[in-house]
């Protein structure tokens, strides 16, 4: 799978692409990430990429021409184009799963106030948000998306079961996890996990996942009960 990133800050991505799971996905050729600097497509001699908003108000708006030309430089027919914005639909595991199966998609990283609405109206195919707070740009949300899809590429995680049992994959949060030693500072690993009884272990994990979801994300539990994810 190939992800095309359009950004004004290409260097932000450097470490992400060489470290940890994303680095592994790239080394294994399961993922290709291409970074394009939107500023390279500015049409004036000062390479301007933003301007004052029509109608007044604080903040600058990203100009349409550099965005248009940079998108066209990496676009092919029917390639999904994501724009990250606090106004977007909330990014969920279901959406990540959908993007992880594509051959290619484009992410446009905005900055300043927003990008010119005409680009959103004509080229962007989906607007996504990573939560109800405001970041200064779309680079961190883009990194979130790259990481989330990278780990789902075939051959990237040692044990694909590990991805399938993550929080959110079945609509619930995950259960607690323990590793050796069996006792740490007087705290023992629950006996059931040492019992070797896989049916009992599964029941315990489901019970804990339900408990944690009820406590931290009652909204998810309601949807889970309704079978409505």
Strand (E) or helix (H) holding 211: helix 198-216
DSSP letters, 120-188, are: HHHT--EEEESSSS--SBSHHHHHHHHHHHHTTSTTTSS-HHHHHTSTTTTSSPPPP---S-SEETTEE
Is the CB of 128 or the CB of 221 nearer to ligand ADE? 128
Options 15-23, 55-63, 68-76, 81-89: segment touching ligand ADE (CB under 6 A)? 81-89
Tell me which residues in 91-130 interact with ligand ADE (CB under 6 A).
129-130
Is 145 among the residues that bind ligand ADE (CB under 6 A)?
A: no
First to last CA, the chain: 26
Is 86 among the residues that bind ligand ADE (CB under 6 A)?
A: yes
Is the CB of 27 or the CB of 89 nearer to ligand ADE? 89
Q: How many CB atoms lie within 10 A of CB 159?
A: 8
Among 58, 134, 185, 226, binds ligand ADE (CB under 6 A): 134
Is the CB of 133 or the CB of 185 nearer to ligand ADE? 133
- Interface positions with ligand ADE (CB under 6 A): 84-86, 129-131, 133-135, 138, 141
């Amino acid at each position: 799978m190939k992800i095309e990133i359009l950004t004004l800050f290409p260097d932000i991505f450097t470490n992400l692409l060489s470290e940890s799971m994303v680095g592994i996905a790239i080394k294994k050729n399961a993922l290709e990430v291409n970074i394009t600097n939107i500023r390279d497509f500015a049409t004036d001699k000062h390479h301007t990429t933003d301007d004052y908003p029509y109608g007044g108000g604080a903040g600058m708006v990203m100009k349409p021409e550099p965005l248009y030309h940079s998108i066209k430089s990496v676009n092919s027919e029917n390639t999904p184009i994501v724009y990250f914005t606090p106004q977007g639909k909330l990014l969920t595991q279901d959406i990540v799963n959908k993007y992880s199966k594509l051959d290619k998609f484009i992410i446009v990283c905005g900055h300043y106030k927003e990008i010119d609405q005409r680009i959103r109206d004509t080229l962007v195919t989906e607007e996504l948000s990573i939560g109800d707070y405001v970041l200064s740009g779309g680079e961190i949300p883009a990194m979130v998306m790259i990481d989330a899809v990278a780990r789902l590429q075939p051959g990237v995680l040692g044990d694909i079961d590990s991805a399938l049992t993550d929080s959110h994959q079945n609509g619930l949060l995950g259960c607690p996890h323990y590793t050796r030693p069996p006792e740490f500072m007087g705290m023992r690993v629950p006996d059931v996990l040492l019992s070797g009884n896989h049916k009992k272990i599964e029941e315990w994990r489901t019970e804990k996942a339900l408990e944690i979801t009820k406590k931290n994300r009652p909204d998810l539990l309601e949807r889970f009960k309704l079978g409505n994810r």
